[in-house]
């Protein structure tokens, strides 16, 4: 297992649409394990493969609280089958947009079908934080970020800040 570097805004990789997983094999399970290790290290409660530069339709989630038994979930080729009309608002963050948080409104519950790490077809009726997190991660598979769900004014501010941070990090860009 290994911890992978995270892709950070405004890297255009985050806007790629990920490709369906064709085979749930040892290679895919290794990727899922690396994603879980990277997520626990960050730490975060979810991670999509594209956040470590792999454009495959795969995400991991663990909502266990600190001190609890880990509850790693692997979702392969997830598809939202049904969304509730009822909405809920959560303060979201993203490992690809460090230290920025904003309230996002989404369907309060979703029914999602997916393959598990054994390649077995599964369905989940998700509510609460699991519903929000699944939607946040599935958005990543489609090149969508949580800031796409906030006002354009706020989004433009965040993108500008991260563009400036990225520019300041380029070697050779000296002051003066
Ligand atoms: O760690 C994370 N926390 C979080 C909080 C509220 C809603 C969604 C999330 S997902 C985020 C990790 C991440 O960036 N996943 O893509
Ligand atoms: Ni995210």
Long-range Cβ contacts of 112-115 (<8 Å, 24+ apart): 112/75, 112/78, 112/79, 112/80, 112/81, 112/138, 113/78, 113/79, 113/81, 114/75, 114/76, 114/77, 114/78, 114/79, 115/21, 115/24, 115/75, 115/76, 115/77
Mean pLDDT estimate for the chain: 96
Residue 175: predicted pLDDT: 65
109 closest CA partner among 89, 84, 137, 135: 84
Among all residues, which ones are annotated catalytic?
Answer: 137
Residue 91 lies in a domain: yes
User: Can you give the residue range of the structural domain that contains 119?
Assistant: 12-168
Total domain count, the chain: 1
What is the CA(70)–ligand 2 centre distance, in A?
A: 20
> CATH number, domain at 95?
3.90.45.10
> Where is average pLDDT lowest: 87-96, 98-107, 143-152, 166-175?
166-175
Residue 154 lies in a domain: yes
Q: Which residues lie at CB < 5 A from ion ligand 2?
A: 94
Residue 173 lies in a domain: no
Q: What is the number of the ligand 1 atom nearest to the C-alpha of 136?
A: 8
Residue 76: predicted pLDDT: 99
Residue 93: predicted pLDDT: 98
Residue 122 lies in a domain: yes
> Where is average pLDDT lowest: 20-24, 65-69, 76-80, 95-99?
65-69
Nearest CA to ligand 1 atom 10: 46
78 within ligand 1 shell (Cβ under 6 A) = no
Residue 6 lies in a domain: no
Residue 95 lies in a domain: yes
Residue 1 lies in a domain: no
Residue 75 lies in a domain: yes
């Amino acid at each position: 297992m290994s911890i992978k570097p995270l892709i950070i805004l405004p890297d255009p990789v985050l806007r790629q649409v990920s490709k369906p997983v064709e085979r749930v094999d040892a290679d895919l399970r290794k990727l899922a394990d690396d994603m879980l290790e990277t997520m626990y290290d960050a730490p975060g409660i979810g991670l999509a493969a594209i956040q470590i530069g792999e454009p495959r339709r795969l995400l991991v989630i663990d909502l266990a609280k600190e001190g609890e038994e880990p509850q790693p979930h692997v979702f392969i080729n997830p598809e939202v089958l049904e969304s509730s009309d009822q909405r809920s608002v959560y303060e979201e963050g993203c490992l690809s947009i460090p230290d920025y948080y904003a309230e996002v409104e989404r369907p309060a519950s979703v029914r999602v079908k997916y393959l598990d790490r054994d390649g077995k077809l599964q369905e989940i009726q998700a509510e609460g934080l699991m519903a929000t997190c699944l939607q946040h991660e599935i958005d990543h598979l489609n090149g969508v970020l949580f800031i796409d769900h906030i006002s354009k004014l706020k989004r433009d501010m965040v993108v500008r800040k991260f563009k400036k941070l990225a520019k300041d990090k380029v070697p050779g860009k000296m002051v003066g």
